[in-house]
Amino acid sequence: MTLSPGATGRRAPRPLRVLGVDPGLTRCGIAVVDVAPNRTATLVAVTVVGSPAEQSLDLRLLAIDEAINEWLDRHSPDHVAVERMFAQNNTPTVMGTAQASGVVIAAAARRGIPVALHTPSEVKAAVTGSGTADKDQVTAMVTRILRLDAPPKPADAADALALAITHAWRGGLMGSGLETGNLTSPQRASRFPTPAGGSGGRRTGGSTPAQQAWLAAEQRSRGSKGWNGGSRI
């Protein structure tokens, strides 16, 4: 929206568009969210791409590659957010998820789109205020944040949306290139501050309660185990 003549003549800030990916071979959640400077998040699109387990690995990765390339070209996101993997054992499932992540990261890099990885604890804390929230709580908050009539299903769709919201609420301040650590703290992610009295909660010491929980979860995730009970890879 353009301001009326006689005002400042400046255009309203453009929302930050983030494409979130919950990687996986059987189900890969892909979501696009626009977040305004006042932190209001709006759903643009969401889908889950899948392939049967009996299909060969090359064809399964090709399905993800084709889908992510189509979505990147169609929606032109400013940033891409991917779940950071945790694993205890070098299982086929974990390997497949890592391979799917690589396809997404390469597709974004080919277009010069910055990519960031977020741990499950960071995502949970960002959208619910608790780094130990369960999937139902995350889905409920995503539904509320995006003002949806019904919860997004399956869980992979909700997780992809949560990833996009998390990255946007961090201010998209990851810079160019893949970021796997030293993520911007909530106190410094001020590009999209929560207005006083807004849904983010009462501010305490420059950050909301949710942001404080978010930071604590981030710090714990660097030296602890993720929601799959394993160490970071």
**Residue ranges per structural domain of the chain:** 16-225
Q: What pLDDT is attached to residue 5?
A: 45
Lowest model confidence (mean pLDDT) among 4-13, 46-55, 77-86, 134-143:
4-13
**Known active-site residue 156:** yes
Question: What sections of 118-206 are H helices per DSSP?
Answer: 120-128, 135-145, 155-169
Residue of higher predicted confidence among 192 and 220: 220
Residue 227 has pLDDT above 90, yes or no: no
Q: Are 23 and 106 in contact (CB under 8 A)?
A: no
Report how far residue 83's alpha carbon sits from residue 219's, in angstroms, rounded to the nearest whole number. 17
What confidence score (pLDDT) does residue 77 get? 98
Instruction: Give the confidence band of 66 by pLDDT, cuts at 50, 70, 90.
Output: very high
pLDDT at 25 over 80: yes
Global pTM reads 0.71
Beta bridge partners of 179: 116
Phi, psi dihedrals of residue 79, rounded to the nearest 5° = -145, 160
What is the rounded distance in angstroms from the CA atom of residue 192 to the CA atom of residue 228? Answer: 31
The reported pLDDT for the residue numbered 140 is 97
DSSP assignments along 193-231, one per residue: PPPTTSTT---BTTB-HHHHHHHHHHHHHHHS--TTSSE
Q: Which residues on neighbouring strands pair with residue 118, listed in sequence order?
A: 83
Sign of the dihedral defined by the CA atoms of residues 35, 41, 45, 47, in that order: positive
Judge whether 83 counts as a catalytic residue. Answer: yes
Residues 6+ apart with CB under 8 A from 106: none
CATH topology of domain 16-225: Nucleotidyltransferase; domain 5 (3.30.420)
Percent over 90 (pLDDT), the chain: 59
Of 122, 156, 159, 218, which residue is the catalytic one?
156
Active site residue: 83, 122, 159, 218, which one? 83
Give yes or no: 54 in active site.
no
What average pLDDT does this structure show over 94-122? 95
